[in-house]
A and B are shown apart, each in its own frame.
Chain A
């Protein structure tokens, strides 16, 4: 290792000093790439924060609207007769990832619902609002999928979007008796909960006993109301879902940036230690080389 050339000072190249530890160049490369990643996650967090602020603002009136629109179901306490077989599950999520456990929690809830309902002997079909749900469920539950909606999550949801989904469902030809919407309900910036809201078909509602106390009901009015309510439920769940998603993405990107900073700190320390070790080694070699000469 110490070359004992006679009068020739042998110059050892620096980057031949690889043992098990990384060289300065490796560490520099890694440091640069992680710093870039940190910039990206920080900017994603800023974007998510802006979108979250807007989503939360729009959620306030949407919540009042949704509660008002669903009041009939709650007041009338509609119960589905036990022999009704066809069930429809609508999972509301989005297309984009990097938002924590948003998609997996909805997918998990859908999976448990499917198994409970299938054990009870009912037919279940699933509708996915958002491409991620299709990706998560298609391998195991492909035969349950009715339709999937894409391009969800890019822009804030509007009532028009909800009506498009509702229209597609009503025209799909699957005559469901009852169904439920599984979405992430927004609780606070750091927490959301996967929730389920039921909805009923026209026959179930008109067959319910408590509906007869309502004056002036005829089939047309009920059908209009049903279709409107389906759109309302979807609108409400879309609004809640986007707010939860943006807040979760903000948290996830924040954690990623923090982790990246930690790694950067550790790597910087390693870099400095390695640098000092390289210098020390050079000095030792020079000194011992000089000592050997003189």
Chain B
């Protein structure tokens, strides 16, 4: 009789991760270990067996930890994050990697956005300018 070790219980230690923007696909049902997101209700680290959640993202950095531990950072402008039964979807409106972004331009964008906010004529313009300010500031913070 051949004795062998029992198979390890196949726990959902893998997370099937789909991360895409309207123009490019970054991960399509890839297996990753952990994803860090910045959302309206706070910063989350999402692992495989996380409870189902539905989040709206704030502009900021999303860090993806692959199976072997390497982390890749992406700057996300906005989007949502759906997590159910160990599969996670992250449709984002715009995604950029750090090499696409320039710190000096980001800083000048913040100043421009602040001046827009000060000069905004009505509520809608104020809100748009506010969003612009938040996004530019997050961009600067991500690059530093």
Spell out A's residues near B (CB within 8 Å).
58, 60-62, 64-65, 67-69, 71-72, 75-76, 158-159, 213-218, 220-222, 224-225, 228-229, 232, 235
Residue interface mask B54-94, A partner, CB < 8 A = 1: 11100000000000000000000001101011010111010
> Are B22 and A64 in contact (CB-based, < 8 A)?
no
Q: Could you say which of B2-10, B23-31, B101-109, B126-134 contacts chain A? A: B23-31
Residues of A within 8 A of B52 (CB): 213-215
Q: Which of A65, A216, A220 is packed against the most chain B CB atoms within 10 Å? A: A65
Asked whether, in the complex, the Cβ of A216 is within 8 Å of the Cβ of B55, the reply is yes
Are the CB atoms of B87 and A71 closer together than 8 Å? yes
Bound complex: CA A269 to CA B119 (Å): 75
Collect the chain A residues with CB atoms within 8 Å of residue B51's CB.
Answer: 213-215
Alpha-carbon distance between A229 and B51 when the two chains are bound, in angstroms: 21
B53 x A69 contact (CB < 8 A): no
B84 touches A68 (CB 8 A): no
Q: A213-B51, A216-B55 are known; give 17 further A-B pairs, CB within 8 A.
A: A62-B22, A62-B23, A64-B20, A65-B22, A68-B18, A68-B20, A68-B89, A69-B89, A71-B18, A72-B84, A75-B82, A159-B23, A215-B52, A221-B41, A225-B54, A228-B79, A228-B80
Closest to B20 in A: A65
State in angstroms the CA–CA spacing of A216 and B55 once bound together.
8
Give chain A's interface secondary structure class: helix
Q: Is the CB of A225 within 8 A of B56?
A: yes
Interface contact tally, CB-CB below 8 A = 84
A76 to B82, CA, bound (A): 11
CB pairs A–B below 8 angstroms (12 shown): A61-B21, A61-B23, A64-B28, A71-B82, A75-B84, A214-B54, A220-B56, A221-B54, A221-B55, A224-B40, A224-B80, A228-B79
Point out residues on B near A: beta carbons under 8 Å.
18-25, 28, 40-41, 51-56, 79-80, 82, 84-85, 87, 89-91, 93
Q: Considering the chains assembled together, what is the distance between the CA atoms of A220 and B28 in angstroms?
A: 28
Nearest residue (CB) in B for A75 is B84
Interface contact B54-A217, CB-CB below 8 Å:
yes
Within the complex, the shortest CB–CB distance from B84 to chain A, in Å, comes to 5
Q: Which of chain A's residues have a CB closer than 8 A to the CB of B25? A: 60-61, 64-65
**A68/B93 contact (C-beta < 8 A), A159-B22, A221-B40 known:** no
B3 to chain A, nearest CB (A): 42
B93, closest chain A residue (CB):
A159
Give CA–CA (A229, B86) in the complex, Å. Answer: 21
Closest CB of chain B to A46's CB: distance in Å?
26
Residues of A within 8 A of B90 (CB): 68
A65 with B91: CB separation less than 8 A = yes
Contacts of B85 in A (CB 8 A): 75
Inter-subunit contact A216/B87 (CB<8 Å): no
Given known pairs A71-B87, A225-B54, the reply for A61 and B20 (CB within 8 Å) is yes
Minimum CB–CB distance from A217 to chain B (whole Å) comes to 6
Query: Which B residues touch A235, using CB under 8 A?
Result: 22
